[in-house]
Amino acid sequence: MAIKLVGNYAKRLGLPGYSSHQFSVSVETELTDSGDIQGEASRIYDLLQNAVDREIQQTGFVPGETYGLTENGSNHRNGGVSSETPKHANSNGNGKTRWSCSDKQKEFIGKLIAENDLDPESVEEIALDRFGVGLRQLNKLQASGLIGELLDLCGKQQRSQKGGKR
């Protein structure tokens, strides 16, 4: 009775600019001697690992720090943040832009700015002070932290405007 031995080896490497690349190799073979499963598995693993390690060294295109941050071919980032809808720095080429956090987080930050009459530049400064990046570059975790701070700030403003009651 033949025994089928299937092996797979994959590796993903993080690259600059929140980029990564991955390579995977698989092999399938049949064994006629069931007493050599361990030795054959070890041999296949070594072959797969060496093949992946050798090939993954070629990274190909790696985006630079400013990749995707230009709009219409210019090297200027977008300006400040509107109190109605925050502007974005990352253009996708069709005039629409994106943030690094989720769309819901982006919309909620814009809503907090608009509904609480917050100064967009002050919110940008809070993001820079707390996280070292502007609003458009906040990741999901950082955006969540900023939203918490804005809610605290807005809650304090509402209490002071309503005589300490919420």
Q: For residue 153, is pLDDT > 90?
A: no
When pLDDT is averaged across residues 131-139 and rounded to a whole number, the result is: 88
Over the stretch 2-55, which tens digit does the pLDDT of each residue have? 889 999 999 988 877 667 888 899 999 998 888 889 999 999 999 999 999 988
Q: Residue 164 above 70 pLDDT?
A: no
pLDDT tier at 77, thresholds 50, 70, 90? very low
Rounded distance, CA 103 to CA 127, Å? 17
Alpha-carbon span 160 to 16, nearest angstrom? 45
Residues paired with residue 12 on neighbouring β-strands, in sequence order:
22
pLDDT band, very low/low/confident/very high, at 61 (cuts 50, 70, 90): confident
Work out the average pLDDT over 140-145.
Answer: 89
CA distance 55 to 11: 10
* pTM score over 0.85: no
What average pLDDT does the segment 111-128 reach? 90
Q: β-pairing, 19-31 with 90-91?
A: unpaired
With a pLDDT cut of 70, the percent of the chain lying above it is: 71
pLDDT value of position 158: 55
Residue 163 has pLDDT above 70, yes or no: no
Tokens at residue 32, please? Answer: 């006629």
The answer on pLDDT for 81 being more than 50 is: no
In the chain, the amino acid numbered 135 is L
